[in-house]
Structure 1
Amino acid sequence: MAFELSVNLEYGFTEAGDKIEDRIAAAAAAGFRKVELFLLKGRDLDAIKAALDANGVELISTVADYVTQLVDPATHEGFCEVFREAASAAKFLGCSNVVVTSGRGVPWLKRPVQLSIFADALRKILPIAEELDVTILLESANTRHDHPGVLCSTTHDSVVVADMLDSPRVKVLYDLYHSVVEGEDPDEALAAAMHHVVHVQIADAPGRGEPGSGKIDWPGALARFERLGYKGTIGLELQPTKPSVEAFGYIRGLCA
């Protein structure tokens, strides 16, 4: 079960300090060649790019925005500008994957209607994705613990929206932690999503710590990814309960 790993540097290698460029260097020194970040807005992109280049590290995903409630059509035009800025920053850093989340849902519209409005928002940013040559990654996040009220809380939600768009520019990021916490059966959820999944992220549950800190069967999880034909990178989007190098040791051993 050989998989390449990437590290989310919002949580990983924080021992190196607050500067992302120092965390990039620490990740590289530990043998990681791929990293992920959340928002790029307001960050020193020149310094980050220099650190990526100097350490031979690739940024493979970033996030457009967390707060825009895309079930509200009034937000769509403004989100186009938010997405353009985020995608332009990502491309400057050599990254072609931009995560888009739905934002909060509303109680007065049925779910299919809300998902359709979310899909309308994505249709508006598709020309920007084409122009800048980036992929939109749809990510569902659990509403039971981490993101109360979010519209896309199940893997199925993201798949439904990706099916509506039916575009090679719109794919799905499957997060095993969010899937488990939301109460999904990972075998069923991932199998039904595989026609869109191009990236996987993991953390243990409960707690969102490193693999081995919770109750997920990690040899079984990796076997599932392999059985279902996933061949991409596995992102470590987790909050280590011990120093990063030590925390990542177990999953690195399984993926070697």
Structure 2
Amino acid sequence: MFELAVCAEMVFRQLPFVERVKKIAALGFQVEIWDWTKHDIDALAATGAKFSSMTGYIEGDLITEAGAQRLIETAEQSIGIAKQLNCPRLNLHGTGLNDRGLPVAPTPIVTGAMWLAAQHTLQRVAELGRRADVVFCLENLNTEVDHPGVPFAKAADTLALVSAVGSAHLRLNLDLYHAQIGEGNLIELLRRALPFVGEIQVADVPGRCEPGTGEIHYPAIARALAQAGYRGTVGLEAWASGDDARALQRFSDAFAV
């Protein structure tokens, strides 16, 4: 019922990256990647894997003039890589992140002017997506555990921005791991957000491992998605709690509605 994808950055980490991609594809999943500048794109394209999403910028932010311009410039570069990989979705965050997932420029207070600037920047991003026929997805993050200081982090924030822009080329990457930590009430959140969702990502809480290792009852999430008519991509962005192949099977089982 759903298209299932797996983040190659987080599983089969004992293998070289290209071999991870091949392994995930051989198990029947689409593949997600993060920062494309760290990978051999020609080698990834040659694997024949179906890529679901990738990071859609290298650096920049939504709120400063220089940061927004840099985000647009690197989003344009990312579109070229996405075309090479035939990857339909490019991921965005409220601001640029470093290698540890922390904001390059922490923003503990978000003003009204920042909201307006972010909306304007995302309108520019959506126009890029329209011209290139790709979809940029704005991801919610949690600030309590993994990403302190990121602006526009909660699902409520990303939903407000995406709905304000109102473009089919700017959607939500609704990450339920982050939403559980930051907001909870996941099924109601899904019902509100689904008209704007481009992709859903999952991991369990606590620990950010595969479904079945924590407090989120993902089979109930899967049933709610099916009942609401969602037929899109669900991506596993999680560490394996033990055996990697077993973790992927648990993910698949949780969404076998």
The alignment's TM-score, normalised by the length of structure 1, stands at: 0.90
Aligned residue number for residue 60 of structure 2: 68
What 5-or-longer segments of structure 1 have no aligned partner? none
Tell whether the 8 Å contact from 2:89 to 2:137 is kept in structure 1 after alignment.
Answer: yes
Aligned partner (choices 67, 70, 82) of residue 74 of structure 2: 82
Is the contact between residue 88 and residue 132 of structure 1 (CA under 8 Å) also seen in structure 2?
no
Question: How far did residue 94 of structure 1 move?
Answer: 0.4
* Contact 1:62–1:99 (8 Å) recurs in 2: yes
The question of whether the paired residues in 1 share the 8 Å contact of 2:59 and 2:71 is answered with no
Give aligned-pair identity as a percent: 28
Q: 1:214 to 1:108 in 2, by over 3 A?
A: closer
Where relative contact order (Cα < 8 A, 6+ residues apart) is larger, the structure is 1
Query: Which residue among 20, 25, 35 is the counterpart of 1:23?
Result: 20
Determine the structure 2 residue equivalent to 1:106. 107
Quote how far apart the aligned CAs of 1:88 are. Answer: 1.0
- Please report how far the alpha carbon of residue 187 of structure 1 lies from its aligned counterpart in structure 2 after TM superposition: 2.2
SS of 1:195's equivalent?
helix
1:166-205 matches, within 5 Å, as: 166-205=166-205
Superposition deviation, residue 188 in structure 1 = 2.5
- Displacement of 1:65: 3.5
Over the residues paired in the alignment, what is the CA RMSD in angstroms? 1.8
Q: 1: distance between equivalents of 2:173 and 2:31?
A: 15
SS at the partner of 2:31? Answer: strand
Q: Following the alignment from structure 2 to structure 1, what is the Cα–Cα distance between the partners of residues 166 and 178?
A: 24
Unpaired segments ≥5 residues, structure 2: 96-102
Aligned partners of 1:212 and 1:250 also within 8 Å: yes
Letter in 1 for 2:28: G
CA contact 1:209–1:240 (8 Å) conserved in 2: yes
Amino acid at match of 1:23: R
| Corresponding position: 1:7 with 2:6 | yes
How far 1:132 moved relative to its partner?
1.9
Match of 2:34 in 1: 38
Task: Tell me how far 1:123 sits from its aligned partner.
Answer: 2.2
SS at match of 2:147: coil
Preserved contact between residue 14 and residue 23 of structure 1 (Cα < 8 Å)? yes
Structure 2 residue 93 is matched with structure 1 residue 96: no
